[in-house]
Chains A and B, each alone.
Chain A
């Protein structure tokens, strides 16, 4: 057991767990944030995607000991009903989810991509967003990603003075 201190959705926190526990289980079971999902446990599907220091990380394959001193962002911290993240807003507008299970991972991967590629092409989307969706909602996801980029680039903090 070890104490690991980090911020979770901008809130400082300390957990005392076995350092090799996957971050996914610390987030879900210790911190009670159920948005991030278990899909495969082998970093193959992306359902567990969250951000560590702004980078998309597959939390099922990330030992919590590596998160010491870092900033973790889950879907709960991406935005909320009063202050939607552009990705969340676009996902609602385009009515993307079917069963919804994989969608958190897709949204987190998309949010991470848009920080680095503000106007992704379809090829950028193909290369960066490789999560698995068994319902096949990819077509609406692609539209939502383009829409999210549009919303983000129109937002006040992105306007040039």
Chain B
């Protein structure tokens, strides 16, 4: 081969190598989150969804900070002087079960679900921020000694909790407002939040 041809061949080879070397390189600066950051982000988004439900009146009306439940769309104090009593189920002749049964009663407008009663005072949510509620929920001293798995089970399977999406009608026949997140999405959010390590934002 003549030297001119050799030079051309070498140059072509060099150019080709350069193309091969750099032509398939990654585009510059595509940001990717590390796996932990992505998981935290998912967890916090799930937290927002979950807390949108748990701070709704359908839940907080029976998680009072005192001895009186609240009721209604305006969360007024429950009529008739109904109160907590020694076991969260009312007093001797005025139990929760005197009026509330295991199902909604759409004739009288009285809501119902299994184990209808007030949440214990340690699970009081009335007046708490969503951060405070979440911290209380994760604290075994407050949540009835539950670990995270048991807390998730309670939040996603207990009939009284899930009643919020089947709250029946009031005594005028008006449907009660449901939480702002559909039930399936809420259940998914609780599980996602737990899977991400139950993160609670700093606020």
Contacts and interface: CB of A to CB of B under 8 A. Distances in A.
A145 B32 CA distance: 75
Given A42-B110, A130-B80, A63 B97 contact: no
A63 B94 contact: no
A98 interface: no
Given A61-B101, A66-B102, A128 B94 contact: yes
A72 interface: no
Given A57-B98, A63-B103, A113 B92 contact: yes
Given A42-B171, A110-B93, A127 B81 contact: yes
Interface string B86-114: 00000111110111011101011110000
Contact of B108 (A41, A56, A115): A41
Contacts, number: 71
Interface residues of A, number: 29
A128 B107 contact: no
Given A42-B171, A127-B91, A128-B92, A61 B97 contact: no
Contact of A44 (B79, B94, B107): B79
Given A22-B108, A43-B99, A112 B79 contact: no
A20 B92 CA distance: 26
A115 B91 CA distance: 12
A59 to B, nearest CB: 10
Contacts of B80: 44, 130
The DSSP consensus for interface residues of chain B is loop
Nearest to A43: B99
A117 interface: yes
B83 interface: yes
Contacts of B79: 44
Contacts of A66: 101-102
A42 B83 contact: no
B98 A128 contact: no
B79 to A, nearest CB: 7
B102 A116 contact: no
Interface in B73-88: 79-83
A126 interface: yes
A13 to B, nearest CB: 20
A109 B101 contact: no
**Which among B80, B81, B98, B171 has the highest number of chain A CB atoms within 10 Å?**
B98
A57 B97 contact: yes
Contacts of A49: 98
B95 A55 contact: yes
B95 A56 contact: yes
A61 B105 contact: yes
B109 A55 contact: no
B93 A61 contact: no
A66 B99 CA distance: 13
Interface string A37-66: 000011110000100000111101111001
Interface of B: 79-83, 91-95, 97-99, 101-103, 105, 107-110, 171
